[in-house]
Homo-oligomer: A and B are copies of this chain.
């Protein structure tokens, strides 16, 4: 069952030769659409997090190549390289660019391929939702991190898609939404989406997750992923690894939901994944409010790596994978890339 089209929020949308990007930095208080007409427009939107979330980044990059192809097809490969460089941790941009360039090299239609990637992602979300919802008990208190919903996919989302599907199927679920410092995707985006969908939720500070678990108020944790290595190690938004350690300590299952496009069989383990660092002003002056003293030294890694041993299961559109991950992920994704 696919989510009714009316409930979908489109983070990126191709219309009349323009890639329309919903500016997520302005949410939840303003819905502003950026009209991108060049690859540079899309690059800028990605860099400042107007569009974010691994699957949506892949879809945006594929359509950006549609913009390049319509203006000057000879720039396609270089445009792809620039797009890949915008966000080095999430693999989906590289995956989408490689796929589109391969089609273009074969004389195929760039835009049609971008649209295929988008449609497939929508279907993958629906399928992850169905498969993952089986892991969610009735009455579950679910802790999630960052934003993994419609805003970062072409469908109902990855981890949030699982939650939404369980809710829509009549299970009574309640979601602990953690803020997700430093960019607060949980407070700003996940809160907005879940309330819009009528899913019961409560916002908490990232620092409160452990005591919720200690009080027995978390039945499962589910997050998305930006890149999954061949051995099942998961790179995701900074803070994910802490939740996995805490879940393990408290005997709470820790699930990851991500389409197979997020699996990178070329990375043998998490230590091969490059963790992007973002501007320290996200810490020293969040949202323009100078909080720390001027020139405070800061370190702002955007992602962390959760070892496969802490991951109870990975929900993909092709099935739910459990340990041993290496063998099972390779079989699922298709051994050719390994």
Cβ contact within 8 Å between B202 and A304: no
Cβ contact within 8 Å between B239 and A205: yes
Give the shortest distance, in Å, between A281 (CB) and chain B (any CB): 11
Q: Does A134 contact B (CB under 8 A)?
A: no
Residues of B within 8 A of A241 (CB): 210-211, 214
Q: Does A184 contact B (CB under 8 A)?
A: yes
Q: Does A209 contact B (CB under 8 A)?
A: yes
Give the shortest distance, in Å, between A168 (CB) and chain B (any CB): 20
Q: Does A28 contact B (CB under 8 A)?
A: yes
Residues of B within 8 A of A203 (CB): 280, 283-284, 292, 296-299
The 8 A CB mask of A175-206 against B (1 = contact, 0 = none) is: 00001111010011001100100000111111
In whole angstroms, how far apart are the Cα atoms of A195 and B249 in the complex? 35
Given contacts A283-B203, A299-B203, contact A191 B292 (CB under 8 A): yes
The tally of residues in A whose CB lies under 8 Å from a CB in B reads: 52
Cβ contact within 8 Å between B182 and A301: no
Interface secondary structure of A, over-half rule: mixed
Q: Does A154 contact B (CB under 8 A)?
A: no
For window 56-100 of A, CB contacts with B under 8 Å fall at none
Q: Which of B29, B180, B182, B289 contacts A290 (CB 8 A)?
A: B29
Cβ contact within 8 Å between B249 and A245: yes
In whole angstroms, how far apart are the Cα atoms of A180 and B206 in the complex? 9
What are the 9 tightest A-B residue pairs by CB atom distance, in nearest-first order?
Answer: A207-B239, A210-B242, A211-B304, A203-B298, A28-B293, A181-B205, A187-B292, A207-B238, A210-B241
Q: Which residues of A pack against B, CB within 8 Å?
A: 28-29, 179-182, 184, 187-188, 191-192, 195, 201-211, 214, 237-239, 241-242, 245-246, 248-249, 275, 280, 283-284, 287-293, 296-301, 304-305
